[in-house]
Amino acid sequence: MTTVTVLGAGAFGTALAIALAENGPVRMWARDADQAAEMQATRHNAKRLPDAALPDAITVCGSVGDALYDGPVLLAVPMQKLRAVLTANAPDLAGRALVACCKGIELTTGLGPSSVIAEAVPTAVPALLTGPSFAADIAKGLPTALTLACGDPDAGAALQERLSTFALRLYRTEDVAGAEIGGAMKNVIAIACGAAIGAGLGESARAALMTRGYAEMQRLAEPRDAQPETLAGLSGFGDLALTCTSAQSRNYRMGLSLGQGEDFDAGQTVEGAATARAVADEAARQGLDMPITRAVVALLDGDLTVSGAIEALLARPLKDELD
């Protein structure tokens, strides 16, 4: 059995390591060497996932070189830091199967995680693991279904076999673009939904934002040649439903804070904030109508209040639902 490497010791990386330890050895890299030593000694990630114990099959390392072994590499780092991690370790990552576990669009380039991998490590086999999931559920061994997207069908099948467990079920697709867009856009819409609930606008408003947000997801997907069926699956509709309705989602909680006029913890990674700006820039370049995305950016920048954003959305001309 090959050894899986997880680069990143946040909540999600730790949860994946715990789940995959059921199948065989896992080596996990923590960026902070002191944190790595503490996790290895205490068998807990006290900072990010304190209630979950690390199985004996997990070895926590303080350097990427020590963490890399003979199996696939899961990149459980924030989207906006992915390129830096890849570039810093490109020689060691060359030729490997690299599975991005982040969701979003790179702010500086407008690229998704698989494209960033392809640029930073051209000889790697890029893949993406995405879908409706929370770290706490995965760590507890609760049933979770995810999408594994890989343009190479043989490599995708091998990854699906190695990374699936009894409770963690992976469904494979070659539509990487569709999986990327679903995972990125659901975070943007979750911020909008959180803001609506935080402002007391009600469940009907949330349902409307989710539905019209899904339409924006489809608009963004079309010029990237993504398949509509992918957006209707786990990585699109499934993740949208989970992230927009649960306070376990950091993106949703940020929206709640915006709606309630409260500050949000700046130490929390919220992928949807940068993604909203990246998507709004691309929409402007391509002439795509993305009013909810634009409203989220305006909220984040302080250019609109929640009431002002809702007023602007409600003032839009009436139109056919499928437009």
Alpha-carbon dihedral of residues 244, 301, 314, 257, nearest 10 degrees?
Answer: 40
In whole angstroms, what is the distance from residue 105 CA to residue 215 CA? Answer: 18
Q: Hey, is 73 helix, strand or coil?
A: strand
Task: Please provide residue 243's backbone torsions phi and psi, each rounded to the nearest 5 degrees.
Answer: -70, -30
In whole angstroms, what is the distance from residue 258 CA to residue 108 CA? Answer: 25
Q: 81, 140, 186, 319: which is the annotated catalytic residue?
A: 186
Asked if 133 and 156 touch (Cβ cutoff 8 Å), the reply is no
Tokens of 318: 């009436």
Q: Hey, is 130 helix, strand or coil?
A: strand
Alpha-carbon dihedral of residues 26, 32, 35, 37, nearest 10 degrees?
Answer: 70
Task: Please provide residue 166's backbone torsions phi and psi, each rounded to the nearest 5 degrees.
Answer: -60, -40
* 47 catalytic per annotation: no
* Residues labelled as active-site residues: 186
